[in-house]
Every structure is written in C-alpha cells, then in structure tokens.
C-alpha cells in the first residue's frame, strides 16, 4: 500500500528584488506503508520546504506545482495535499492524517499552556477521549518519547530545547496519523535519547502508516531508515536502499558519497565548496562546481533515473561498509 505518492513537486518563492528562489524542483517519490524514508542533505537544500508544502504551511509568496497524493482511509478518498484548500488541510489532514514533528518545536507550542494541557487537548481533539482517560492517554504519550512526568506542568518557555523537541514528538504521535513527517526530530537530544526517539518514530510505522524523516543525523537515518533520499539544491539526486547506501556498494552520487566521507568515522573529509544560491542555480548539474568528476556533460541537468541523477556515478565500493554510529554531516 502506498501512503504517499509525490509527483513533480516544485516550489518557487517570488522575490521583489531578485529572481525567484527555486526551493524544490520536480521531486517525485513514493512512500509505502511500513516504510521509513530518510531525506538528507545540507541545510538550505529544500528538505523542510518540501515538508511544509505537504502540509500547506508555505508562506504567501510561494508558488507550487505537481501533486502529493495521500492515500485515503476506509470510505475517505485520497487527497492531493498540494491542491487541497486550507479548510480541508486544517479540518481533516493536519494531525489526523499527517502528523508533524516540527523543526522548531517552540514555535508550535502555545506559550500560555502547559505540556500536559497541550497533550490532553490534542488527545481530545484527535481521538474524542475525555476526562481521566484523556489525561491518562496524554501521560502515556509523553512516556513514549521519554518526556519526564515531573515536567508535564511546565510551560514551553520553561523547557530546554531537547524537552521541547520531545513534547512536540509526543504531540505528533497522539493521532496515529497514516503519514508522520519528522523534520529534524533529534535536534537538541543526546545520543541515547536520539536512539530512543527514532526507535519510537520507527514503531509508528505499520500496515497503514509510514514515516518521512528529514534529518542531518546520518546515524539516526542508518538506524531506522529503509530508504535514503538525498537532496541537493532543491532536487533529489539519489534514492537508495539504506543497507546499500550505508554499506556496500555505498552511495552512487558524488555528493551523497561526500556526505558520508565527511563523517569522522569515515574519511573525515568535508564536501569541498558551498551549495549554490537557489535564486541563481546553473542550467546544468548544480553540483558540478564542487565535483571532481564534472565535465562538459554536466552542463545539462541529468534526470533522476533508476534512483540516480548523475552523469558520472560512483561504481566502486565505499571506503567503509559499516553504518555510522554517532555523527552528523558537517555543514548539514
């Protein structure tokens, strides 16, 4: 069963004094029930914009194209998240059919309400549970993500970044939504809590549920992902099975291989150069200026074919075949 089918998703931001920002360009992928897809890449490559587009949370200067078909449930039809109006997204999609672990949890928490109040109200709204049962379910939701019971009556400003992240994760899990979007869900967490959090997110997947995890933490991706999608300058450049990506034969795209080579337990060699500005992308391969294999063929944009968009893919095994244990890609 396919939970989410994205086709040709494109997002542009109109700017008053410059060319449009091409944040996401022609992205297509499927996400099956029971699957975790990890979306990785450096900051500014379009990952979070993609998540915002799926939830209809883009600013007013955004222009979107393409489709993102979210599977229906029971007698409910499938919904195109890109074409759906705000009323539909607010009433039937957000929280109920798509759960979000936000990148900036403090911005999604009401400052005058305690964590317990947030959780209890969410339980009531999404499940219809009332009274003591709602309070008990809220406490259980907090325990799922190791949120300390002694902090449930604190307000958002009284929480550390890591605790706010755990509170937001608990809220996202309450509705058992078919699609869970986790945007940097391990920010501010120590390694033990990273593993416990991503393991809980992974347990969310099932016969009708899937997880799209946006992350810089390649160790977290290696721990729970079934597939890895690598994004660069607004485009997907590689989609691969996680075992092959982190093991043998390793990434095929030079940029994807560079992300792994930058890890301390690998070559500890950063990707040279800097990503291009999304308002001034080259006509051809956006990675060509940073790639040691670039030639005249790279003046044209390679399509994503067979899970790869590259004129000169790697074919040799990766330097190391063991998945990373605890590191983030520098510059991500």
CATH number for the domain spanning 325: value is 3.40.50.300
Compute the average pLDDT of residues 46-64.
97
pLDDT at 267: 87
Burial classification of residue 110, based on how many CB atoms lie within 10 Å of its CB (0-12 exposed, 13-18 middle, 19 or more buried):
exposed
Which of 138, 161, 176 is where one domain is finished? 176
Compute the average pLDDT of residues 130-138.
95
Instruction: Give CA 272 to chain center in angstroms.
Output: 25
> What does the CA dihedral 176, 177, 182, 186 come to, rounded to 10 degrees?
-10
- For tokens 């940029």, the residue is 255
Burial classification of residue 322, based on how many CB atoms lie within 10 Å of its CB (0-12 exposed, 13-18 middle, 19 or more buried):
exposed
Domain membership of residue 225 as a residue range? 1-97+178-332
Pairing of strands 36-40, 62-70: unpaired
Compute the average pLDDT of residues 304-318.
86
Q: Are 103 and 172 in contact (CB under 8 A)?
A: no
Q: Are 209 and 180 in contact (CB under 8 A)?
A: yes
Compute the average pLDDT of residues 49-58.
97
What mean pLDDT is reported for the chain?
Answer: 92
* pLDDT reading at 332 higher than 70: no
> Does residue 193 share a domain with residue 54?
yes
Which of 176, 209, 237 is where one domain is finished? 176
> What is the reported pTM?
0.91
> Does residue 301 share a domain with residue 268?
yes
Q: pLDDT (tens digit, 9 = 90+) per residue, 80-91?
A: 999 999 999 999
- How many distinct structural domains can be found in the chain? 2
Length of the chain measured in residues:
332
């Amino acid at each position: 069963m396919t939970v989410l089918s994205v086709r040709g998703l494109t997002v542009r931001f109109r700017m008053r004094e410059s060319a449009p920002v091409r944040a996401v360009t022609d992205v297509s992928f499927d996400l099956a029930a029971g699957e975790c897809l990890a979306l990785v890449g450096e900051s500014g490559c379009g990952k979070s914009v993609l998540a915002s587009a799926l939830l209809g949370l883009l600013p007013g200067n955004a222009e979107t194209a393409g489709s993102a078909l979210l599977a229906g449930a029971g007698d409910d039809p499938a919904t195109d998240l890109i074409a759906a109006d705000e009323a539909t997204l607010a009433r039937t999609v957000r929280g109920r059919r798509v759960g979000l672990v936000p990148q900036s949890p403090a911005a999604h928490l009401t400052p005058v309400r305690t964590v317990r109040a947030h959780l209890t109200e969410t339980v009531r709204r999404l499940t219809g549970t009332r009274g003591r049962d709602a309070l008990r379910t809220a406490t259980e939701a907090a325990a799922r993500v190791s949120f300390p019971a002694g902090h449930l009556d604190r307000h958002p400003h009284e929480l550390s970044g890591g605790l706010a992240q755990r509170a937001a994760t608990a809220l996202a899990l309450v509705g058992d939504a078919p699609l869970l979007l986790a945007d940097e869900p391990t920010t501010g967490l120590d390694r033990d809590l990273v593993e416990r959090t991503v393991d809980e997110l992974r347990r969310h997947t099932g016969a009708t549920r899937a997880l799209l995890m946006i992350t810089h933490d390649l160790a977290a991706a290696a721990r729970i992902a079934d597939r890895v999608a690598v994004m660069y300058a607004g485009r997907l450049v590689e989609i691969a099975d996680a075992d092959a990506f982190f093991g043998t034969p390793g990434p095929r795209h030079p940029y994807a291989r560079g992300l792994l080579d930058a890890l301390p337990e690998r070559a500890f060699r950063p990707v040279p150069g800097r990503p291009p500005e999304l308002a001034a992308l080259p006509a051809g391969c956006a990675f060509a200026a940073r790639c040691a294999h670039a030639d005249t063929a790279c003046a044209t944009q390679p399509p994503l074919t067979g899970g790869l968009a590259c004129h000169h893919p790697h074919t040799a095994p990766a330097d190391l075949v063991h998945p990373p244990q605890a590191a983030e890609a520098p510059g991500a």
